[in-house]
Amino acid sequence: MPNGKTEPPTDQTFKVRTGTIVDHDKWISTLKKSYPVGDIAILRTELRRVFRTSKPTTVSLARSQDGSSFELSLNGAQSYGDGTTPGTSLIPELNANLPKKSGNKPTAVSIQSLEVDSGYSYYYVISNFKLPPADYAKYFRLGENPQPFEGYDYYIGLAFSVELEKDPQPKRYLDERASASLEEKATRRVQLETPQGIKDLKLNGFIRVKVEINAEGKVVRTDIQSSSIPEVNDLALAAARQWEFPQSLFSEDKTPITGFVTFRISDKPEAVKPPSQQ
């Protein structure tokens, strides 16, 4: 949002039914209703299992070239519930690992405790964690020149969709390594056309799009998996929807395939390498 010209977002937690936000566009629309000031973009989505144990599930959110990083630890716990039936708490903790400032000891940036229900999604902005343009570029834009991002404040928002009753993992799921082979088999590849404004700013980055492919080889659903250049997220989704794959992939199994298609924007494409999902 514009630097110093608007009130910072609150740390209010919002709760919605997951069934009402089943794709990227509905997520963005829902988020904009809660945060009408400023631009909103999805930078990363992941499917993770969280257990009610002392060992947290850790997600690497961002890492810079000097080794500093931001990590999200997710803990699950049994809660008091309604007094009769025990409930479930999800405890997200955002930590900063800044070796130059705090050695090897992580610094807690934000800790929340959410009382969660299956089939619902929860989201909030960490209002006390404002990133200046230099840090935003360093951690979330692959170390880009921060100049194009000046004049704005950047906040991190976290969203969690909770499913306690069934496995949300697609039956035919290809990870990023297997998806590289899937891309090679595509019978139609529509490339992302870089807008002139992005070229003028000399912005580089990548967008990894999660695609669902039906038995006819058509892409029927797309979502952002990770992006370091969110200005073109919508264009990447539109391009990925036009890809096609051979029906021979479904000769023995008609179950839809879920995998990834990756787009890169750079004067030197080989220099822009998406980080591995960790």
* Nearest-angstrom CA–CA distance, 41 and 25: 11
pTM of the model: 0.88
Residue 90 has pLDDT above 60, yes or no: yes
CA-angle at 228, arms to 223 and 233, nearest 5°: 40
Average pLDDT, the chain: 90
Can you give the pLDDT at residue 278?
47
Q: HSE, CB side, 13 Å, CA atoms: give it for residue 226.
A: 21
Phi, psi of 51 (to 5 degrees): -110, 155
Q: Which tokens sit at 5?
A: 């010209």
* Nearest-angstrom CA–CA distance, 238 and 224: 11
Residue 19 has pLDDT above 80, yes or no: yes
* Nearest-angstrom CA–CA distance, 117 and 114: 10
Can you give the pLDDT at residue 67?
85
Per residue in 228-249, pLDDT (tens digit) is 999 999 999 999 999 999 999 9
* Nearest-angstrom CA–CA distance, 98 and 96: 6
For CA atoms 277, 165, 25, 124, the dihedral sign is negative
**Ranges assigned E (strand) in 98-201:** 107-111, 114-116, 120-131, 154-162, 172-173
Can you give the pLDDT at residue 1?
58
**What pLDDT band is residue 185 in, cutting at 50, 70 and 90?**
very high
* Nearest-angstrom CA–CA distance, 23 and 36: 19
Poorest-pLDDT segment among 1-5, 130-134, 185-189, 210-214: 1-5
Structural domains present in the chain? 14-162 (no CATH), 172-271 (3.30.2420.10)
Can you give the pLDDT at residue 2?
59
